[in-house]
């Protein structure tokens, strides 16, 4: 158990409401145990069994708190106060993040924002606080795209961007999303019913760990996010000719892994040397048949490009395509490249930024305005509502790894600022 950590916030009606810091930290521990590995890493890839278990745990906690928990057709978990407490006719304020993780990722990325959103909602409910807008807590489905390669799945559905999603998505092993989504309580044939219309939300707020070193280096406890990076993801397939590693002469080989290695180097160079985009990564590769004494037949890999300028991102994408064509030609392999995801860089809403900053000041927390280099559901929800994001420091600036951590007092501080921002909006 964590020591009780509480703070007072004040609603417009003057009601004093308090975040239960110990409950927040306990719930984070309990969630991290689902899909938790020996090394402290957490694997709850979107629509996996562990993800399903984690979502069920959070939903159960909401229901035990007297809230409702429903799953929309896209698999998003929506938590609300019971109907008789939804007194406001004004468009709701949505608060949340995602519940899925990358493979062997951290315990806080996404989970923190959802658990804190539940904490805010429960706190308001228990205090009987009337708010001008209904507050809806959300756990978005499959933000990471670690198993089903459609990152931002849940927020794309919520934002009605169905045309940008494949009609019958599959995971990396070719298993259909349709079935996994149904197990999670969604329905691939009814995605339209999960879309919220532009203007149907007053605001969307997301609390998240920074995942970088800025706040820690500056010694600030709250980050006010001013922008979220743009991103392009591409999948590449290279088809060569398999053969015996000992008997096939070097001359005339069609080795897709050699081409992949050159492509990876070109991708790194386009960010590092050529500065065509801020960062460029190949983080995933599959080799077939993946045998030490066989020339590979097929290689699949994913390229991730990020920049705050969409024109630079487009230019970087063109460079990858041109480089791939030349490398495939010289290596005598067949290449197929597809852009699988494109998210525009977004600015957060200035009024929400000011409100977050004022909330942090009133609560006595140090703060810093900063951009986000990671992608977030907020940048998708920005299609339908003004968005704001709050960051808390990441110890050693690391994320998507088992050692991802944030100091407990910073986790509680972030939730306090989230609650106060909701009340001020
Ligand atoms: C989301 O976690 C991202 O890759 O930025
Ligand atoms: Mn992540
Ligand atoms: Mn995240």
The pLDDT tens digits for 273-292 are: 999 999 999 999 999 999 99
Atom of ligand 1 nearest to the CA of 304: 4
Kindly identify the ligand whose nearest atom is closest to the C-alpha of 378: 3
Non-local CB neighbours of 37 within 8 Å, separated by 6+ positions: 43, 104, 402
Residue 1 has pLDDT above 60, yes or no: no
Q: 376, 206 in Cβ contact below 8 A?
A: yes
Q: For residue 5, is pLDDT > 50?
A: no
DSSP for 296-351, written as a single string: -SEEEEEEEEEES-HHHHHHHHHHHHHHHHHHHHHHT-EEEEEEEEEE--EEPPHH
Rounded average pLDDT over 133-139: 97
- Burial profile 346-360: b = 16 or more Cβ within 10 angstroms, e = fewer: bebbeebbebbbebb
Atom of ligand 1 at shortest range from CA of 102: 2
| pLDDT tens-digit readout, 13-59 | 444 788 999 999 999 999 999 999 999 999 999 999 999 999 999 99
For the 231-343 domain, the top CATH level (class) is alpha beta
Query: Ligand 1 centre and the CA of 135: distance in Å?
Result: 26
Instruction: Give the per-residue pLDDT at 87.
Output: 61
pLDDT value at position 86?
63
Residue span(s) of the chain under CATH 3.40.630.10 come to 6-229+345-424
Q: Ligand 1, from 374, 389, 404: best to mutate by most atoms within 8 Å of Cβ?
A: 374
Statement: residue 372 has pLDDT above 70: yes
- Residue 18's pLDDT is 85
What pLDDT sits at residue 85? 66
- CATH 3.30.70.360 domain span(s) along the chain: 231-343
Instruction: Give the CATH number of domain 6-229+345-424.
Output: 3.40.630.10
At 240-276, the pLDDT tens digits run: 999 999 999 999 999 999 999 999 999 999 999 999 9
Give residue 374 CA to ligand 1 midpoint distance, Å.
5
Atom from ligand 1 closest to the CA of residue 110: 2
Residue with more model confidence, 90 or 182: 182
Q: Please determine, for residue 313, whether its predicted confidence score (pLDDT) is greater than 80.
A: yes
CA 407 to chain centre: 21
For ligand 3, the distance from its centroid to the CA atom of residue 136, given in whole angstroms, is 19
Which protein residues have their CB within 5 A of the ion that is ligand 2?
A: 109
H/E stretch holding 208 reads strand 203-209
Q: How large is the average pLDDT for residues 223-247?
A: 98
Among the residue ranges 8-17, 103-112, 310-319, 381-390, the one predicted with the least confidence is 8-17
Residue with CA nearest ligand 1 atom 1: 375
Distance from residue 374's CA to the centre of ligand 3 (Å): 7
Q: What is the overall mean pLDDT for the chain?
A: 95
Q: Which two structure tokens, joined as six digits, stand for 208?
A: 């998240």
374 CA closest ligand 1 atom index: 5
How far, in Å, from the CA of 402 to the mean position of ligand 2? 12
pLDDT, position 415: 98
- 112's tokens: 């923190």
Tokens linked to 271 = 């960010």
Q: Could you tell me the pLDDT band of residue 9, with boundaries at 50, 70 and 90?
A: very low
Residue 303 in this model has a pLDDT that exceeds 60: yes
**Whether the predicted pLDDT of 88 surpasses 90:** no
Calculate how far, in angstroms, residue 130's C-alpha sits from the geometric centre of ligand 3.
30
231 CA closest ligand 1 atom index: 5
């Amino acid at each position: 158990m964590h020591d009780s950590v509480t703070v007072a916030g004040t609603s417009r009606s003057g009601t004093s409401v308090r975040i239960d810091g110990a409950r927040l930290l306990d719930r984070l521990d309990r969630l991290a145990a689902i899909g938790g590995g020996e090394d402290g890493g957490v694997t709850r890839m979107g629509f996996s069994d562990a993800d399903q278990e984690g979502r069920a745990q959070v939903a159960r906690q909401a229901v035990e708190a007297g809230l409702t928990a429903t799953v929309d057709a896209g698999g998003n978990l929506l938590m609300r106060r019971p109907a008789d407490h939804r007194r406001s006719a004004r468009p709701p304020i949505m608060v949340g993040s995602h519940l899925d993780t990358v493979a062997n990722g951290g315990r806080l990325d996404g989970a923190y924002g959802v658990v804190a959103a539940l904490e805010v909602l429960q706190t308001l409910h228990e205090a009987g606080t009337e708010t001008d807008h209904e507050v809806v807590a959300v756990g978005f489905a499959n933000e990471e795209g670690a198993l089903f390669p459609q990152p931002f799945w849940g927020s794309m559905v919520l934002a009605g961007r169905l045309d940008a999603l494949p009609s019958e998505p599959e995971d990396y092993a070719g298993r259909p999303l349709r079935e996994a989504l149904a197990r999670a309580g969604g329905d691939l044939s009814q995605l339209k019913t999960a879309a919220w219309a532009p203007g149907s939300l007053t605001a969307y707020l997301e609390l998240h760990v920074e995942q970088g070193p800025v706040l820690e280096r500056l010694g600030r406890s709250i980050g006010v996010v001013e922008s979220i990076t743009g991103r392009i993801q591409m999948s590449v397939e290279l088809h060569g000719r398999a053969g015996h590693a000992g008997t096939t002469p070097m001359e005339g080989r069609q080795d897709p892994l050699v081409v992949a290695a050159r492509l990876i180097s070109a991708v790194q160079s386009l960010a590092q040397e050529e500065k065509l985009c801020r960062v460029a990564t190949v983080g995933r590769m599959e080799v077939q048949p993946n045998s030490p004494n066989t020339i590979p037949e097929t290689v699949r890999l994913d390229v991730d490009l990020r920049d705050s300028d969409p024109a630079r991102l487009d230019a970087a994408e063109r460079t990858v395509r041109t480089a791939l064509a030349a490398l495939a030609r010289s290596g005598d392999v067949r290449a197929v490249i597809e852009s699988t995801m494109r998210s525009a860089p977004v600015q957060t809403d200035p009024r929400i930024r000011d409100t977050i900053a004022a909330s942090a000041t009133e609560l006595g927390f140090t703060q810093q305005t900063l951009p986000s280099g990671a992608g977030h559901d907020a940048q998708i929800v920005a299609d339908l509502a003004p968005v704001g994001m709050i960051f808390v420091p990441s110890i050693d600036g690391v994320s998507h790894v088992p050692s991802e951590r944030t100091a407990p007092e910073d986790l509680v501080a972030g939730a306090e600022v989230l609650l106060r921002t909701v009340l001020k909006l």
